[in-house]
């Protein structure tokens, strides 16, 4: 895909979703970090349903630790892989209290050294909380980028690096949320809704559903 097409796609997304934010519900950096950890291989709606109750009782590292892993599991038991996630959340809370006075570190190295926090999770936090020009690539961003030919890559890191080079700075903070939303609603893994897609005329997907 050429530069002209990419820029037009970005401007169309900006026009269509000017104020689009992550679907995960949060009111603090810590809440977002925990929600992203919980969202791995789980739906945002399921995570939001659990955290809506959890965060009323424990929404800081200290409160999570006071609650304990046994009670924590009760709140997140409907979320996939909740046992491992609960262990990681307890470990994260201990580290944040011990090393960062309960605050979330604002750099990739420290974030990725937290248990259960990978590159994608770190990118989401850096992008949404600290407004860093990063682009988190999950399954939706990976699919939309490759399917449309916006940024073709064999793995998520490859796609991320290409997006960072191809996307102008002013759009870097928005692209993840745009492509995630588009991937869930329109450019779905199965039965994509190409016939109502607003970038259909620019997309280079060979098997469009029309």
Q: Which of 87, 101, 132, 138 is catalytic?
A: 138
- In this structure, are 61 and 144 located in the same domain? no
Give the model confidence (pLDDT) of 44-54 as tens digits. Answer: 999 999 999 99
CA 56 to chain centre: 23
- In this structure, are 73 and 159 located in the same domain? no
- In this structure, are 110 and 158 located in the same domain? no
Q: Which of 4, 66, 73, 120 is catalytic?
A: 120
Domain count of the fold of the chain: 2
pLDDT over 80 (residue 116): yes
Give the model confidence (pLDDT) of 97-109 as tens digits. Answer: 999 999 999 999 9
Task: Give me the chain's average pLDDT, please.
Answer: 95
Percentage of the chain surpassing pLDDT 90? Answer: 94
Is 35 in contact with 76 (CB distance < 8 Å)?
Answer: no
How many helices (H) and strands (E) in the chain? Answer: 10, 0
Whether residue 120 lies in the annotated active site: yes
Q: Which domain holds residue 114?
A: 29-128
Give the model confidence (pLDDT) of 122-156 as tens digits. Answer: 999 999 999 899 999 999 999 999 999 999 999 99
- In this structure, are 160 and 123 located in the same domain? no
DSSP 93-108: HHHHHHHHTTPPPSSH
Confidence class for position 201, pLDDT limits 50, 70, 90: very high
**Residue 7 located in a structural domain:** yes
User: What residues contact residue 209 under an 8 Å CB cut-off, 6+ apart?
Assistant: 191, 192, 193, 194, 195
pLDDT over 80 (residue 114): yes
Confidence class for position 209, pLDDT limits 50, 70, 90: confident
- In this structure, are 119 and 50 located in the same domain? yes
């Amino acid at each position: 895909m050429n530069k002209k097409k990419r820029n037009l796609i970005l401007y169309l997304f900006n026009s269509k979703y000017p104020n689009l934010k992550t679907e995960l519900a949060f009111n603090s950096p810590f809440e977002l970090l925990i929600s992203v950890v919980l969202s791995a291989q789980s739906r945002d709606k399921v995570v939001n349903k659990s955290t809506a109750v959890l965060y009323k009782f424990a929404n800081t590292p200290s409160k999570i630790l006071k609650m304990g892993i046994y009670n924590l599991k009760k709140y997140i038991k409907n979320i996939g892989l909740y046992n491992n996630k609960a262990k990681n959340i307890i470990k994260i809370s201990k580290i944040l209290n011990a090393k960062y006075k309960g605050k979330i570190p604002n750099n990739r190295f420290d974030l990725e050294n937290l248990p259960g926090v990978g590159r994608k999770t770190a990118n989401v936090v850096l992008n949404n909380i600290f407004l860093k020009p990063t682009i988190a690539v999950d399954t939706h961003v990976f699919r939309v980028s490759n399917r449309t030919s916006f940024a073709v890559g064999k793995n998520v890191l490859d796609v991320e690096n290409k997006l960072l080079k191809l996307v102008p700075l002013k759009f870097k903070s928005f692209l993840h949320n745009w492509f995630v939303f588009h991937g869930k609603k329109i450019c779905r893994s199965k039965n994509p809704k190409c016939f109502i897609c607003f970038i259909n005329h620019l997309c280079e997907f060979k098997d469009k559903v029309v």
